[in-house]
Amino acid sequence: MEHLDRAQVADRVAGLQRRPVTDPDARAAAVTLVIAERDGVQGIWLMKRPATMRRHAAQYALPGGRLDPGEDEITAGLRELHEELGIELGPSSVIGLLDDYRTRSGFVMTPVVCWGGEPDVEPVPNPDEVAQLFFVSFEELLVEPRFLTIPQSPRPVIQLPIVGALVHAPTAAVIYQFAEVVLRGRHTRVDGFEQPVFAWR
C-alpha cells in the first residue's frame, strides 16, 4: 500500500460527489475517520464500545455520536473525537465528507474524513466510551468484505473481517466506502448495504 499524502486523499474525497440524506424523522450523527500514522504506517482508529453501554453495547464503532443543538456534522465529529479518544483536531484537519448512511436505529450518520496531524500521536481513550481501541492499517482495510443474506431484508449485510473480528454496518459500510474512495480510488456507494438485526435497535 502506497503512503498517501493529504493532497492525494483530498483529491479522492472531493471527486466522490457525496450523497447527503435528508430525513426529518432521523437524528443527525457524525463519525470521524482519522488518518493517523504509527511507526510510518498509515491507518485509522476503530473502537469497541463497552458492554455496559445502553445503546450499541460491545459493538465496533468509529469515534462519533449525535449532533448537539446548534452543531454541524464537522463540529460534532471533532467534539466526539476529542471526548472519546482525547484527540484534539481543528476544522483545518477536515479533508471532506463521505456519503451519509441511514441507520436502522434512527440516525443519519455523516462520515468526516480528517488528517490526523503529527505522526505517532497516541490517543487517550475515555473508558466510559471505549472498551478497546484499534489502529487499523490501510493494508488491513483493503480486505475484501463479506456479504450475508437475512430473511428480514432484501439488502446484503456487509461484514469486514478486520481486527480479528467481524465488523458490521453501519461501521463496516462507512469504512468500506473510505477504503474504496481513499485507498482504491473508486467511487463505490454503500447505502444498499444492510445492518445485522442486532444493530437495528
As given in the structure block, the three cell numbers for residue 157 are: 449485510
Q: Specify the length of the chain in residues.
A: 201
Instruction: For domain 6-140, give the fold.
Output: Nucleoside Triphosphate Pyrophosphohydrolase (3.90.79)
Question: In sequence order, which residues have a C-beta less than 8 Å from that of residue 119 and are 6 or more positions away?
Answer: 36, 37, 38, 40
Cβ atoms of 87 and 81 within 8 Å: the answer is yes
Comparing CA positions, the residue from 92, 84, 104 lying closest to residue 152 is 104
Q: Where are the alpha helices (DSSP H) in 39-152?
A: 73-85, 138-141
Max CA separation in the chain (angstroms): 46
Question: In sequence order, which residues have a C-beta less than 8 Å from that of residue 158 and are 6 or more positions away?
Answer: 145, 146, 147, 168, 169, 172, 173, 176, 190, 193, 194
CA pair distance 18, 97, nearest whole angstrom: 7
DSSP per-residue codes, 167-196:
EETTHHHHHHHHIIIIIS------TTPBPP
pLDDT reported for residue 55: 67
pLDDT reported for residue 54: 67
CA pair distance 154, 48, nearest whole angstrom: 28
Cβ atoms of 160 and 60 within 8 Å: the answer is no
* Edge-to-edge strands, sheet with 165-168: 146-150, 153-162, 165-168
Which is it for strands 107-115 and 27-38: parallel, antiparallel or unpaired?
parallel
pLDDT reported for residue 52: 73
Per-residue pLDDT tens, the chain, 201 aa: give them: 889 999 999 999 999 999 999 999 999 999 999 999 999 999 999 999 997 766 666 799 999 999 999 999 999 999 999 999 999 999 999 999 999 999 999 999 999 999 998 888 899 999 999 999 999 999 999 999 999 999 999 999 999 999 999 999 999 999 999 999 999 999 999 999 999 998 877
Q: Where are the alpha helices (DSSP H) in 41-122?
A: 73-85
User: pTM score, two decimals?
Assistant: 0.95
Distance of CA 72 to the CA centre of its chain: 17
pLDDT reported for residue 188: 97
pLDDT reported for residue 57: 67
